[in-house]
Structure 1
Amino acid sequence: MSPSPELIQPDWPVPETVRACCTTRVGGFSRERYAGFNLAGHVGDEPQNVQANRERLAGLLGLPGEPLWLSQVHGNRAIHSQQWQPGIEADACITDQPDTVCVVMTADCLPILLYHAQAGKVAAIHAGWRGLLAGIIPETLSLAGDVSSEWLVWLGPAISQAHFEVGEEVYVQFCDTNSSYEQAFHPSARRSHWLLDMTTIARLQFQEAGVTAIHGSGWCTFADTEHFYSHRRDGAAGPTGRMASLIWRTE
């Protein structure tokens, strides 16, 4: 019998009717390079193991229905839950419907969960550097159409700046977009390379939109091999697993 999964419960001031969590790799039925609680069906893991993991997750959380799994493409498309269909390509999902589970999967990229009390909306965003550069955060807020200052935000586990080296072209693209993004970069030991802090970019983008209630972050998927999958750390050996970040509200 595999060990019980370890889940991260966001520490943020939402009512009890809002349910949210982020999984780790601990527990589950997956083996070899996917070992643990892999929830992604697109990375080459045995389908029966992924299904068993998803069923265990549903039981642990008491999910009200099947999560709205997305085909994530590192873009800036957000959808309403009413638009969802299996295989839809998007990197964020919003809903104002109770018992509708928004979810994103990550293994270094930044998972973001959101709640808007007045509108009764929740959302989940998958934000890698490409998505951040493309504007997935402002696109999601724009699609929601609510007063931005009233959003509560939680930033989940992602690769930290110390382990996320990018090329000069990434640095230039961000800084050409907004000079304030320069504070998210630190020179790497390698010439013409930079260390990028995606959580800083995310915070800046939320703040630019008027969002100030930003919680979470502090985990590093690359450094913590026990708890997290990491594409940057493990990808050279082949595909790795994915964690899931989920949010929904009850009636």
Structure 2
Amino acid sequence: MSIILPDWPAPNTVKAAVSTRRGGLSAAAWRSLNLAYHVGDNAQSVEKNWQLLGSLLRLPAAPQLLEQVHGVDVVHAQSDGIIRCADACYSDQRAVVCTVMTADCLPILICGRAGGEVAAVHAGWRGLAGGVVANAISQFKNRPDQLLAWLGPAISQPHFEVGEDVYRAFLANTPGWGSRQQVDACFLRTRTDRWQADIFSLARLALSASGITAIFGGGQCTFADPESFYSYRRDGQTGRMASLIWIS
């Protein structure tokens, strides 16, 4: 099984990982470590995949799974097995596993430098433009300058073509995210009404605007690496990776 461990200076009490698509039991379009129950895969295969990942990572409890709707809501994660509707989850409790699922959207993991708080954020373009990052950061007791953020695998700019609605949605965030020029620099115009969006740079603007300056990761493209990552835009029917963070 192949997983990604964030390369960031998080305290030893913070544990984090991102799954890849390698090393599971799912077949066909979901090959092989699909962790989502809602994408048409066999539920028993998904359950076994979670067992494999849980054993590898030594998860302390059942992860908080979310019904993600590309919104901006944040919930406090729990270990009760209930799937909650939100696009980010937060915890300041030991052994509570914050989790988000992605297959092109950007997973963002956040922790306090002191190790007492963590969050996982699902940052698709709608949630990112709508303020899910700021909402997640608002849950922390630590000041933003005492937080670390790590950007996981997501679709890269050359493969993420968007329309004018997406472009205008992000421009509406100025001046809160900086100058119009800073936001505009995250888009490469390809046709009259089409752009290629840099979701990593947009996330960095959102994090910086909320006061986080210690930002790590970014740049691993889900679309360009079919052997390692699921990509909804590339494949349509596909699985999901999980990004997880907890306090040990």
SS of alignment partner, residue 143 of structure 1 = coil
Q: Distance in 2 between matches of 1:219 and 1:118?
A: 27
Q: Distance in 2 between matches of 1:56 and 1:198?
A: 31
Deviant stretches of 4+, over 2 Å: 81-85, 143-146
- In structure 2, what is the equivalent of residue 176 of structure 1? 172
SS of alignment partner, residue 144 of structure 1 = coil
SS of alignment partner, residue 172 of structure 2 = helix
Q: Distance in 1 between matches of 2:201 and 2:50?
A: 31
Q: Distance in 2 between matches of 1:168 and 1:124?
A: 29
> How does 1:150-165 map onto structure 2 within 5 Å?
150-165=146-161
AA aligned to 2:240 is: R
- Could you tell me how far 1:170 is from its partner in structure 2? 1.2
Cα pair 2:107 2:123 within 8 Å, conserved: yes
- In structure 2, what is the equivalent of residue 217 of structure 1? 218
Q: Distance in 2 between matches of 1:70 and 1:176?
A: 28
Cα pair 2:63 2:81 within 8 Å, conserved: no
Q: Distance in 2 between matches of 1:50 and 1:83?
A: 18
- In structure 2, what is the equivalent of residue 97 of structure 1? 93
- In structure 2, what is the equivalent of residue 241 of structure 1? 239
Q: Does 2:79 correspond to 1:77?
A: no
- Could you tell me how far 1:119 is from its partner in structure 2? 6.7
Mark the runs of 5 or more structure 2 residues left unpaired by the alignment: 175-179
Cα pair 1:104 1:244 within 8 Å, conserved: yes
> How does 1:1-251 map onto structure 2 within 5 Å?
5-81=1-77, 86-118=82-114, 120-178=116-174, 179=180, 180-188=182-190, 190-235=191-236, 239-250=237-248
Q: Distance in 2 between matches of 1:45 and 1:191?
A: 39
- Could you tell me how far 1:174 is from its partner in structure 2? 1.2
Q: Distance in 1 between matches of 2:80 and 2:214?
A: 28
Moved more, 223-232 or 118-127: 118-127
- Could you tell me how far 1:84 is from its partner in structure 2? 7.4
- Could you tell me how far 1:15 is from its partner in structure 2? 2.0
1:11–1:119: structure 2 CA closer, same or farther, 3 Å change rule?
Answer: closer
- Could you tell me how far 1:122 is from its partner in structure 2? 0.7
Q: Distance in 2 between matches of 1:138 and 1:167?
A: 24
- Could you tell me how far 1:187 is from its partner in structure 2? 0.8
- Could you tell me how far 1:33 is from its partner in structure 2? 0.4
AA aligned to 1:195 is: Q
Give TM-score, length-normalised by structure 2: 0.94
- Could you tell me how far 1:142 is from its partner in structure 2? 1.4
Cα pair 2:11 2:115 within 8 Å, conserved: no
- Could you tell me how far 1:183 is from its partner in structure 2? 1.4
1:88–1:223: structure 2 CA closer, same or farther, 3 Å change rule?
Answer: same
- Could you tell me how far 1:87 is from its partner in structure 2? 2.7
* Cα deviations by residue, 1:49-68 (Å, 9 ceiling, x for unpaired): 00010000010011101000
SS of alignment partner, residue 177 of structure 1 = coil
Q: Distance in 1 between matches of 2:232 and 2:164?
A: 21
Mark the runs of 5 or more structure 1 residues left unpaired by the alignment: none
SS of alignment partner, residue 85 of structure 2 = coil
1:15–1:230: structure 2 CA closer, same or farther, 3 Å change rule?
Answer: same
